[in-house]
A and B are shown apart, each in its own frame.
Chain A
Amino acid sequence: MNNNGTILSVNDLKTYFQTEDGVVKAVDGITFTLAKGETLGIVGESGSGKSVTNLSVMRLIPEPPGKIVGGDIIFDGTDVRALSIDEVRKIRGKRIAMIFQDPMTSLNPFLKISTQLMEVTQLHLGHTKQQAYEHAIKMLETVGIPDAKSRVDGYPHEFSGGMRQRVMIAMALSCDPELLIADEPTTALDVTIQAQILELIKDLRERMGTSVILITHDLGVVAGMTDKIIVMYAGKVFEQAPTKELFERPANPYTKGLLKSVPDPAHEQGEPLYQIPGLPPDVAHLPPGCPFAERCDRAEDICRSEYPPFVEINENHHSLCHFAKEVYDGN
């Protein structure tokens, strides 16, 4: 694989939710490893299970109704599933940090930015108030907040959306985590601000050597940011591959459809866009065959009756499809 060593390995993780409608298999068997300093992108539409995967890694699944029913989560040699909640808390926020889509709802509106930043290092690094305060200012400077010394005592509403996301990143990186999970970190932001935040994550990743899991629905964002990608659909891993290979030679019709349905500025206006027909399936009531068969343009009878195999294209490239090799070969 590589000589840096593995920071996180997830093996056949299954997280199910009990609902009135039956059991929802939100994540149903996902396997990946993340090396130190590496960036993994997880792409999928809403309800595909990409966020639940990462909430599982952080042990943040509300139980009940949710439950991790199977699989291993090994973080730097530690079995995360076997830890007590107290032990998980020592890792969460310190060694694994997370940033969310909406920075307004993840910051406490009643507390000063300084208080919220200080809490993290006082708890995890045993900082005194003075140390924590100075560290908070340093972190705000690191993430590019101008005039950090005076802004540190402001409240979240005094910051713009992009600035709040910077504060969240400052908080996440306060304890110098080994793994940063960013769940749609730029979805609520304008493109120019998105470019700033992505640039910041890239820069910090290089300076601090942090491993990153980037969850997004935007194929453009993962193209420039990641080493490898997992494409999820209906709780399943549909395809995983190194970034370059996934874009050049997808081996799954769903990935292929997603790539084609993004408007390409080079194309002439007026041509219809490729569209994946239909709607994402109801995860509580999946059909017996491939969950994507109904919407797939190359589905055959077998796809509707038999669950597809997870085909190995090569050591690093896998696809859940009866015809993975054919799709990979361009047929």
Chain B
Amino acid sequence: MTNNDLIKLENLQVHYRVGGGLFSQAKHVKAVDGVSLDIKKGETLGLVGESGCGKSTLGKAILRLTEPTGGKVFYNGKDLAHLPQSEMRDQRKDLQMIFQDPYASLNPRMNVGQIIGEPIRTFGLANGRNVDQIVQELMETVGMSRRFVKRYPHEFSGGQRQRIGIARALAVDPEFIVADEPISALDVSIQAQIMNLMEKLQAEKNLTYLFISHDLRAVRHLSDRVAVMYLGKIVELAPGKDIYDSPLMPYTQALISAVPVPDPEVEAKRDRIILQGDVPSPIDPPAGCHFHTRCQYAIDECRRNVPQLVQIKPAHSAACIRISPEHPNIIANAEAGLGAVGLE
């Protein structure tokens, strides 16, 4: 572990039991299935994937809002996954979360001052007048007028509510923030405002973000590195530019190719990779590589071998048995008839 890793995940697992009773065998949903990742101090790690791939569960498991069923979560070298609840509570001061739906995550009976002030009081960071002072400063930091301190969540628009959610997360002066789809519910013109606010705060407070989103354009814009998740596993990890410009995994290629570009000329010329079918159920994911059911390059070995995330190029890892550092291009490999080069 290097010194600049703030968060380090080792084989993190979140498995849920579904069903099971007197006459039926319980099944398991492997929402997060052995994820190892590190997040460096001050960086934004983007996490993308389709709905149901486990990206939100992964974010929550880091903060223990969902209990991991296996593996380790190191924060500054301390394993959070095995910390007693009481110590974890204190630790949450340093690790905060911003949610997708700012309405559902704000108590409708509390006014803005109470919402932002609550974590400050809970952690005993200030008291009395000082709390009000801090709350008002935070409101200004996130671009809200101090006048609104006595207003209630329903009096605000979605974008304003998201600012309240961000102010609340910042109230305890955290080091690390999990932002789970923070812009998905917002209008286009407001999305840019919130993304700029997040970047400004990161620069001012040296924050580290895990930015979870299905919006690849937003992820590309905000993230230093991007991890692509599919059915509980990380399948590709690289700097944002490389993920976009030269994706290695067939899944990532399809994902990037599916993003509509706001330029009619580009759209007219594009040859889109259209994936067949839906994401398979995480209850009984396909054997071998989970993606083989939708992959145009799948060969027999893909149905048997579970690919490992390995480094293919500098700072660029992918989990696919049909590519290797010597043969990184799946399309060329397929044309040349190369089989499972990653297994040799």
Q: Which residues of A contact B (CB under 8 A)?
A: 45-46, 146, 160-163, 190-196, 198-199, 217-221, 223-224, 243-244, 247, 257-259, 261-265, 267, 269-270, 272-277, 279-280, 295
B274, A196: Cβ atoms under 8 Å? yes
Across the interface, name the chain A residue whose C-beta is closest to B219: A263
State whether the Cβ of B21 lies closer than 8 Å to any Cβ in chain A. Answer: no
A258, B188: Cβ atoms under 8 Å? yes
Known: A217-B188, A269-B220, A273-B196. A262 touches B262 (CB 8 A): yes
Known: A192-B275, A224-B264, A269-B222. A275 touches B193 (CB 8 A): yes
CA gap between A263 and B199 in the complex, in Å: 14
User: What 1/0 flags go to B130-160 for Cβ under 8 Å of A?
Assistant: 0000000000000000000000000001011
A275, B187: Cβ atoms under 8 Å? no
* CB contact between B258 and one of A45, A195, A265, A269 (< 8 Å): that residue: A195
Give chain A residues whose Cβ lies under 8 Å from the Cβ of B200.
272
Across the interface, name the chain B residue whose C-beta is closest to A226: B264
* CB contact between B220 and one of A243, A263, A295 (< 8 Å): that residue: A263
10 other A-B residue contacts (CB within 8 Å) besides A193-B50, A263-B220, A265-B259:
A161-B51, A191-B259, A223-B260, A247-B262, A258-B189, A261-B189, A265-B220, A269-B241, A275-B192, A279-B157
Give chain B residues whose Cβ lies under 8 Å from the Cβ of A270.
199
CA gap between A280 and B187 in the complex, in Å: 9
Give chain B residues whose Cβ lies under 8 Å from the Cβ of A264.
217
Across the interface, name the chain A residue whose C-beta is closest to B294: A192
Known: A217-B187, A244-B264, A269-B223. A262 touches B196 (CB 8 A): no
Give chain A residues whose Cβ lies under 8 Å from the Cβ of B261.
220, 223-224
CA gap between A269 and B238 in the complex, in Å: 14
Within the complex, the shortest CB–CB distance from A211 to chain B, in Å, comes to 19
Within the complex, the shortest CB–CB distance from B4 to chain A, in Å, comes to 18
B188, A261: Cβ atoms under 8 Å? yes
Give chain B residues whose Cβ lies under 8 Å from the Cβ of A46.
187
B260, A218: Cβ atoms under 8 Å? yes
State whether the Cβ of B335 lies closer than 8 Å to any Cβ in chain A. Answer: no
Within the complex, the shortest CB–CB distance from B226 to chain A, in Å, comes to 10
State whether the Cβ of B221 lies closer than 8 Å to any Cβ in chain A. Answer: yes
Across the interface, name the chain B residue whose C-beta is closest to A269: B240
8 A-B pairs, CB-CB below 8 angstroms?
A190-B214, A191-B259, A193-B50, A199-B274, A223-B264, A261-B191, A262-B188, A275-B196
Within the complex, the shortest CB–CB distance from B140 to chain A, in Å, comes to 16
State whether the Cβ of B306 lies closer than 8 Å to any Cβ in chain A. Answer: no
CA gap between A195 and B51 in the complex, in Å: 15
B270, A224: Cβ atoms under 8 Å? yes
Give chain B residues whose Cβ lies under 8 Å from the Cβ of A162.
278
Give chain A residues whose Cβ lies under 8 Å from the Cβ of B270.
224
Across the interface, name the chain A residue whose C-beta is closest to B223: A269
Classify the secondary structure of B's interface with A. helix
* CB contact between B188 and one of A45, A195, A272 (< 8 Å): that residue: A45
Q: Top 8 closest A-B pairs, CB basis?
A: A220-B260, A224-B267, A263-B221, A195-B258, A261-B192, A219-B262, A190-B50, A45-B187
Within the complex, the shortest CB–CB distance from B291 to chain A, in Å, comes to 11
CA gap between A263 and B263 in the complex, in Å: 12
State whether the Cβ of B244 lies closer than 8 Å to any Cβ in chain A. Answer: yes
* CB contact between B278 and one of A193, A220, A280 (< 8 Å): that residue: A193
B217, A265: Cβ atoms under 8 Å? yes
Residue from the set B200, B260, B279 with the largest chain A CB neighbour count within 10 Å: B260
Within the complex, the shortest CB–CB distance from A215 to chain B, in Å, comes to 14
State whether the Cβ of B101 lies closer than 8 Å to any Cβ in chain A. Answer: no
Within the complex, the shortest CB–CB distance from B26 to chain A, in Å, comes to 22
CA gap between A263 and B264 in the complex, in Å: 16
* CB contact between A273 and one of B192, B214, B255, B258 (< 8 Å): that residue: B192
CA gap between A160 and B50 in the complex, in Å: 13
Residue from the set B159, B187, B264 with the largest chain A CB neighbour count within 10 Å: B264
Known: A190-B51, A259-B262. A223 touches B199 (CB 8 A): no
Give chain B residues whose Cβ lies under 8 Å from the Cβ of A262.
188, 217, 262
Within the complex, the shortest CB–CB distance from A269 to chain B, in Å, comes to 6
A223, B263: Cβ atoms under 8 Å? yes
Residues of chain B in range 247-282 having any CB-CB distance to chain A below 8 Å: 254-255, 257-268, 270, 272, 274-275, 277-279
Within the complex, the shortest CB–CB distance from B193 to chain A, in Å, comes to 5
Known: A45-B188, A217-B187, A280-B187. A191 touches B258 (CB 8 A): yes
B267, A223: Cβ atoms under 8 Å? yes
State whether the Cβ of B190 lies closer than 8 Å to any Cβ in chain A. Answer: yes
Give chain B residues whose Cβ lies under 8 Å from the Cβ of A221.
260
* CB contact between A275 and one of B189, B224, B257, B258 (< 8 Å): that residue: B189
CA gap between A302 and B69 in the complex, in Å: 63
Across the interface, name the chain A residue whose C-beta is closest to B276: A196
Known: A221-B260, A275-B193. A195 touches B272 (CB 8 A): yes
A196, B275: Cβ atoms under 8 Å? yes
* CB contact between B50 and one of A192, A273, A275, A277 (< 8 Å): that residue: A192
B262, A244: Cβ atoms under 8 Å? no
CA gap between A224 and B278 in the complex, in Å: 23
Across the interface, name the chain A residue whose C-beta is closest to B239: A269
CA gap between A30 and B277 in the complex, in Å: 39
CA gap between A258 and B254 in the complex, in Å: 26
Give chain B residues whose Cβ lies under 8 Å from the Cβ of A193.
50, 278
Give chain A residues whose Cβ lies under 8 Å from the Cβ of B190.
45, 279
B217, A263: Cβ atoms under 8 Å? yes
Within the complex, the shortest CB–CB distance from B44 to chain A, in Å, comes to 9
State whether the Cβ of B218 lies closer than 8 Å to any Cβ in chain A. Answer: yes
CA gap between A219 and B175 in the complex, in Å: 35
